[in-house]
Structure 1
Amino acid sequence: MAEQEQDAQADAMAAAGLPTGIEGLLAVMARLRDPVRGCPWDVKQTFASIAPYTVEEAYEVADAIDRDDLADLRDELGDLLLQVVFHARMAEEQGAFDFAGVVDAINDKMVRRHPHVFAGASVEDAEAQTAAWEAQKRQERAARGDTDDSALAGIARGLPEWQRAVKLQKRAAAVGFDWPGIDPVLAKLHEEADEVRAEFAAVAAGEADAHQRLEEEIGDLLFVAANVARHGKVDVGAALRRANQKFERRFRAMEALAADERGGLAGLSLAEQDVYWERIKRGE
């Protein structure tokens, strides 16, 4: 960050009667949550109402990384940090914990789960470390009195479903329940696609419960697609983000080209629109 920008930020915080750094951020949140002189929107928020923003900010961080925009990444990390501070402040108001407690907890967890770094233990490679990490998590759950000893225990239900699918598959694979290679996974993908096609036909024929069965088969198809990505060591979220970006880029370019030549896409047949799509693809 440029020195002038830092000075300007420090001046702005001083003018508001606030310190700089993390203490300043904590003071900002305390002021925003003040029931008398705070911000009405911030004051009325709860853990549940803020949770969607927390998830959204995490995706904004991932987007900045995908775009290799470090300036934007700095800002998005700040937004994500604000979410942590927001939740910690609400917990502090309830007497549950505060931001310092959050920091202490994660420090303790990182030291505890990395004995090969902080306690003289040894680990062969990243794969072995992952296994040790999961074993440590199981021990911690047992110490808390959690009696769920399934290989799938502890996988958060609040994760995006594609991410939870991959975690379920990894846990099952850890005990040997996995396809030996990509060929049977791709065969299963084709099988699920055929079942989806059959349920579309059933819906069209007006069969009872066909739409419910279609939903189930589409879910199976997506679950296997996530497994394809896992076998290829491809992050499903990153792959889908790039696919979304590619579609948006091509569609916007198609719109612009059609607007110049035909006055826009509206009114063009699908075949005519597809001609523009192919032109954009070839241009890339």
Structure 2
Amino acid sequence: MEFPPMSEATQALSRLIDIMARLRDPVAGCPWDREQDFATIAPFAIEEAYEVEDTIARQDWAALPDELGDLLLQVVYHARMAEEAGWFDFATVAGMIGDKMVRRHPHVFGDATLQAGQWEDEKERERQARREEGTLAGIPAALPALLRARKLSARAARVGFDWPDARDVLDKVDEEVAELKAELDSGDRARITDELGDVLFTLATLARKLDIDPEACLRQANAKFTRRFTAMEQDLARRGTSLPDSTLAEMEAGWQEVKRRER
């Protein structure tokens, strides 16, 4: 399959790969970079992915290339360590994802027509090829918990294990909250934790039924809380007081004032 040449991008990527090789050089490389391994670098990949997402959410397009570069560096870093171990190299990584994209898009790169569920059907064939058995196989345990909950419920829904609509899920949320309330008086931390987990899982399922990303919902709520709390704190400071010196009633009044201004 022929694709147009991308000489500038190819040169820039080749330079980055060479830079990483130099950084990892056992003699002339950077001491910090030489000491790293897969386990120590992996958390940076997650962090950089979140920074990309945050930049997009803020629509900071000027900063996005830099953040994407940080994320790309993580791929190059892991590929270099794998090459040093004799397992694979960056070309293997790029080749495999290229092959996968072509395979999953036969309506673009072949003569097939686009079918509903085509992407998931191909992923299922890939799981079977990897001998991953079971409906829920292949969903990484290390995913953020809300995101994994959404994926687990979505995978179960593909085989019919699902509620008819969002209102039915909302009824289930009420049921789980009632069970949590019943456990609060028991003081049994393990049972309370279990019931709270059920509430959160069901909320993630509700988000899926509404076609909303639960992680995005919580990030939005975090941002709103941060904005309102900071505004309340600043209002108090302008009046010559502070949060530690305020009563809960005063803080609640300040909170409601900030909410009123946002309407």
Task: With the length of structure 2 as denominator, give the TM-score of the two structures.
Answer: 0.92
**Aligned residue in 1 for 2:82:** 91
Percent of matched pairs sharing the same residue:
54
Superposition map of 1:223-238 within 5 A? 223-238=201-216
Contact 2:135 2:155 in 1 (8 A): yes
Q: In the aligned structure 2, how far is the partner of 1:218 from the partner of 1:58? A: 28
- Counterpart of 2:147 (choices 160, 163, 171) is 163
- Report whether the alignment pairs 1:193 with 2:177: yes
Kindly provide the CA deviation profile for residues 117-170 of structure 1, in whole angstroms up to 9, marking residues without a partner as x.
11110124xxx1xx22222222223333x151x222221222111111111111
- Report whether the alignment pairs 1:28 with 2:19: yes
Contact 2:132 2:138 in 1 (8 A): no
Q: In the aligned structure 2, how far is the partner of 1:72 from the partner of 1:247? A: 25
**Aligned residue in 2 for 1:13:** none
3-state DSSP class of the match of 2:162? coil
Kindly provide the CA deviation profile for residues 24-72 of structure 1, in whole angstroms up to 9, marking residues without a partner as x.
1112111211122222221111111111111111111110111011112
Q: In the aligned structure 2, how far is the partner of 1:260 from the partner of 1:193? A: 40
3-state DSSP class of the match of 2:98? helix
The 1:103–1:147 alpha-carbon spacing in structure 2 relative to 1, beyond 3 Å, is closer
What's the Cα RMSD here?
1.5
Q: In the aligned structure 2, how far is the partner of 1:27 from the partner of 1:254? A: 51
3-state DSSP class of the match of 1:202? coil
> Matched residue pairs, number?
253
- Counterpart of 1:177 (choices 156, 161, 169) is 161
Shift of 1:188: 1.0
Q: Which residue type is aligned with residue 80 of structure 2?
A: R
- Counterpart of 2:123 (choices 137, 148, 151) is 137
Q: Which residue type is aligned with residue 53 of structure 1?
A: F
Superposition map of 1:10-25 within 5 A? 21-25=12-16
Q: In the aligned structure 2, how far is the partner of 1:60 from the partner of 1:152? A: 29
- Counterpart of 2:193 (choices 215, 238, 242) is 215
**Aligned residue in 2 for 1:71:** 62
Task: With the length of structure 1 as denominator, give the TM-score of the two structures.
Answer: 0.86
Kindly provide the CA deviation profile for residues 202-249 of structure 1, in whole angstroms up to 9, marking residues without a partner as x.
11xxxxxx1001110010000011011111111111111111111111
Give 5+ residue unaligned stretches, structure 2. Answer: 1-9
Give the ranges of 4+ consecutive aligned residues of structure 1 lying more than 4 Å apart after TM superposition.
none
Q: In the aligned structure 2, how far is the partner of 1:143 from the partner of 1:217? A: 37
The 1:168–1:69 alpha-carbon spacing in structure 2 relative to 1, beyond 3 Å, is same
**Aligned residue in 2 for 1:44:** 35
Q: In the aligned structure 2, how far is the partner of 1:141 from the partner of 1:188? A: 31
- Report whether the alignment pairs 1:247 with 2:231: no
Q: In the aligned structure 2, how far is the partner of 1:70 from the partner of 1:163? A: 25
- Report whether the alignment pairs 1:154 with 2:145: no
- Report whether the alignment pairs 1:273 with 2:259: no
Q: In the aligned structure 2, how far is the partner of 1:262 from the partner of 1:270? A: 17
Q: Which residue type is aligned with residue 187 of structure 1?
A: D
Q: Which residue type is aligned with residue 101 of structure 1?
A: T
Q: Which residue type is aligned with residue 115 of structure 1?
A: P
